[in-house]
Structure 1
């Protein structure tokens, strides 16, 4: 096994008398020699237009479902308001009759 770093080299002393070493330099490591042929990795196509058409169709369906839900909530609110107005009117009539 070859060393990955060279041995530290002393380059002097600091003001306290301790040795100062040069920073270790990374040695060049050759890639392992093998006998089979390496080919560059092939980047696969991600679907291109079909992917975007699918996203568009899915987004459109989501938007339509949200719109239909909003209409259903609005119709329910109007029906509840009408019901409450009729019940209030009936309650007032009932109170006046007593």
Structure 2
């Protein structure tokens, strides 16, 4: 005797049962639903996760981002140098003005 899958066994049992027509109709409907469910599971496997993945960045986008970071870094460096020069000039001017103020207070 060869073993058949449970779905085939149930189908054979339903065909043999001819006494109650309502029970036979319900059993056939259940078998059809089981067949449809297994066909649907085989046709469309469920994804591993429920969210959508965004496509990754291309090489051109990464090159553009790298260039933007380099230009921004150079700009920040020039701004820092400009602030240092401005601070040095302001300190020199303040020293000169303070020396002039002391000279004016002494009466020279």
Q: TM-score, normalised by structure 1?
A: 0.53
1:89 equivalent to 2:96? Answer no
Tell me how far apart the structure 2 counterparts of residues 44 and 81 of structure 1 sit (CA, whole Å).
54
Tell me how far apart the structure 2 counterparts of residues 97 and 47 of structure 1 sit (CA, whole Å).
73
What SS does the corresponding residue of 2:37 show, helix, strand or coil? coil
Aligned to 2:37: 30
Larger strand share, 1 or 2:
1
Q: What is the aligned-residue RMSD (CA, Å)?
A: 3.3
Q: TM-score, normalised by structure 2?
A: 0.48
Which sections of structure 2, spanning at least 5 residues, go unmatched?
A: 1-33, 45-52
Moved over 6 A (4+): none
Tell me how far apart the structure 1 counterparts of residues 71 and 106 of structure 2 sit (CA, whole Å).
53
Distance apart, 1:32 and its partner CA = 8.9
Distance apart, 1:49 and its partner CA = 1.5
Aligned length: 67
CA displacement, residues 8-61 of structure 1 (integer Å, 9 cap, x when unaligned): xxxxxxxxxxxxxxxxxxxx893896xxx98xxxx9964521111111100001
